[in-house]
Each structure stands twice: as structure tokens, then as C-alpha cells.
Amino acid sequence: MIWRVWLLERVIATAVISEKESEAEAYASLEELKSLVTTAGGTVMATTVQNRPTPDVSTYVGKGKADEIEGLVEEWEADVVVVNGELSPRQGQSLAARTSARVIDRTQLILDIFADRARTKEGRIQVELAQLTYLLPRLRGQGHALSRLGGGIGTRGPGETKLETDRRHIQKRMDELKKELRRIRKHRSTLRKQKERQNHPQFTLVGYTNAGKTTLLNALTNEEALAEDLLFATLDPLTRALRLPSGLSVRISDTVGFIRGLPTTLIAAFRATLEEVSEADVLIHIIDATSPEAETEKQTVMELLDELGAGDIPVITVMNKAENLEEDGVPTVNAGRPRLYASAREKQNIDDLQTVMEDELIKQMSFYSISIPAGDGRRLYEIRHSTIVREETFDEANELYKLQGYAFDHHPQIAAERKTDKKEDHR
């Protein structure tokens, strides 16, 4: 069951700034936490920060800070305390015992948003599996905490009846979910192989959450997929067809946005969805050019790509939201080439991006020259739509179309033509 919050809940946000991170990084992360709360259907009434070498092993924050948090809860009549970190079972239970509000951490908040935004069957299964994986070691004390809830931030997903059952039942449910995911993955694999036989290259949009991936997808394909100014507006993978300037038909997929501190359980559970990333021919990395944290966000994305086994896939970097940049406000981002500035919302430089997309594919292709009889319209159509045609002429005397361009080595018709040419050369 998925709970929905219709009234904004009052939230107290708290963070520990450890000696491992700078003040700037910590406060940027805290601002991100506030955006996550807004996305989840809450409003941050107050924030509190504590500097200490490491979080307290018992209550995460010190006991004095815990008392301050309870004072803020009473002052603002807050419903939820959100900690900008991951609480151990002991820390969560101890901190919850010292306040009348629900206590959740950043991981649980992100899982909560995913539970609310998953639309497909696969997405819902992956969310529930991630939540159960996260909650399993935290079952002690959850029964009392959930018995006083009526739904809200941090409670969407499995529901209290599942969480109050014993570990064996929860483990059984997790096994069922994994079995269903394997079935879905097998089906997805079959569909993917069918698409591969169509010789349509795969582009995948990646980037930090709210960088503008879905808006760029809409600009490229002239479609109207949901694009909201919220974190994790897109959760379930979305694939669209696109015709590049040469006539080549490609597939382009949108994916869930990355974020710093993305829960490990979530990465593991969503690995099937993120296969769209690891199996792409080219990645298009969208960066919010207006973000003061653009370099950090880029680095977060690159690290997660490595973790997904996609670190060696060619990348096109798009500095998005360029329409909002001041002349002297261009961020310093250490991104490789090709790189271009664009505005997905204003559809600026979209044509340039499509040209770069073709150029990146050509680097993976080989040159071909082929002649096709004028009467073989089907074959001519397939070559025009499954390769990058650079030159096409018509030989009236022999009634042949002569095409030159670039194709993948595994393209069946081009490969067959090359094999025939080699045989003739050998003779």
C-alpha cells in the first residue's frame, strides 16, 4: 500500500557536519535534503546543525542537540524529524525515543519518494524490495512507531502489517519480489534483443536529479513526458524513438536522476532499470549549468556510472539551462569533450546536439559503400534508417541507388555486402 500526503507535513531537518566534509559541501547537502522534503510532500520549519568529528554512536547527534531537536518539534508542532545521513538501527531507535515526532533518515526519505513516484509494476516491486532490505535490520521498535502513524513521510511503501510480522515472513516476501523481478528482467531482455535486431542504436540520458533530463528528452523527440521541477520527477525508465538528421533511427531513454548519498540498497534494487545505462551505445550526461554544485554533481554521476559498469561508455556532456546563465556565470566543470551548452526548455542548440550524437556513433562505426537496385525499396528503406547515410546518388543507366556512409560492423546487410565483396576480390 502506498500512502499519499495531501497536507504538507511539518519537518525539522538536522545534520551533522563531520571532519570529513567541508562546510560548503555539508550545507549544499542540507539544501538538497530540504528539496527532498518538498518533493515528499513536507515543508521544513527549522534546521539544526552540529559540528562533530563523527556522528554519535547512540543518538547520531549529541544528547544536548537531541534535546534541542525535541524543543523545535514542540515549538513548530512538527510531524517528522529528518536526519541528513543514514541512521543505524540503534541511532534511529535512540533518537526516536527522545522526540514525539517520527524520525527518519535521508535514505528512508529517498525510498519514500520513490514509493510515491513508482508507476510501473517493475518500479513498484523494486521500491518495495529496497524498502524491505533497508527496514529488515530495523524492525525492532518499528511496531510502536508505526502504531501511532496515520500515514505520512517515511511511511509510504510496505505498510505496518508487513513490518510487524516476523523476519521470516519479510524474507519470504523479499524472495517473492526477487523472483518476480527475475521474470520481468527476462522479459525485458527478450524485448531488448528484438530491438537490437532492428539495428537502432541506444542513447541514454543520465545526470543529477533535476538537471533537466526529461525536458531534454521532450525537446529531442517532440514528446510530452512528465517534466516537473522536483527531485526524482522521473523514476520509471522511459524510451522514445528519435530520427537523427541523417535519417538514422535511434532509441533514447530517460532514467532516474542520481543524487549524492544514493542508498546502496536502492542502487542494487534498481539495477534492472539502470540496465538502460550500462547497455547504451552513447550516454548523454546532462548537467545543470546554473548549479553552484555542478562539479560535485558531475562527479557523483561519474562515480555511480563506474559502479554500474558504465564508466567506459562514450559520453556527450550537455550543460543544460544555459538560458539562465549570466555571461560571467559559466560554471567551472571539468568535463571531457564533446561538450556543448544547450537549453532543453527553450530548445536551444538541440540541432547541434543531434549532430554531435551522430558524430559519436560514427566513431564506433565503419565506412561502407553499397549499391541497391531501384526496385528493392524495402532494403533501401532499411539502409536509410539503420545507418548514417552521408551520400546517396542514383545511377540511371543501371537503375541503382549508390549509398555511402557509416554502419556498425554487426549490421546484417552491410556485413553481408562486405563478405560478398571480399569473395569477389578473392576471385
Closest CA to 417 of 367, 368, 379, 377: 368
The answer to whether 256 is annotated as binding is yes
300 annotated as belonging to a binding site for a ligand: no
233 annotated binding-site participant: yes
380 among annotated binding-site residues = no
Does the annotation flag 41 for ligand binding? no
186 assigned binding-site residue: no
Grid cell of 13 as nine digits: 531537518
The reply, when asked if residue 212 is annotated as ligand binding, is: yes
Is residue 254 marked as binding? yes
Check if the beta carbon of residue 257 is closer than 8 Å to that of residue 270: no
**Residue 343 assigned ligand-binding role:** yes
DSSP one-letter string for 168-230: HHHHHHHHHHHHHHHHHHHHHHHHHHHHHHTT--EEEEEEBTTSSHHHHHHHHHT------SS
Asked whether residue 265 is marked as a ligand-binding residue, the answer is no
Q: Is 131 in a helix, a strand, or coil?
A: helix
- 335 annotated binding-site participant: no
Task: Compute the Cα dihedral for 329, 335, 341, 347 and give only its sign.
Answer: negative
Please tell me the total number of residues recorded for the chain in this structure: 427
The grid coordinates listed for 417 are 555486402
214 is in an annotated binding site: yes
Q: Is 208 annotated as a binding residue?
A: yes
For residues 131 and 100, the answer to whether their CB atoms sit within 8 Å is no
Q: Tell me: is residue 232 an annotated ligand-binding position.
A: yes
207 carries a ligand binding annotation: yes
Q: Is 236 annotated as a binding residue?
A: yes
Nearest residue to 212 (alpha-carbon basis) of 200, 197, 198, 225: 225
Give the residue numbers of the binding site: 207-214, 232-236, 254-257, 343-345
Give the residue numbers of the binding site for Mg(2+): 214, 234
Give the residue numbers of the binding site for GTP: 207-214, 232-236, 254-257, 343-345
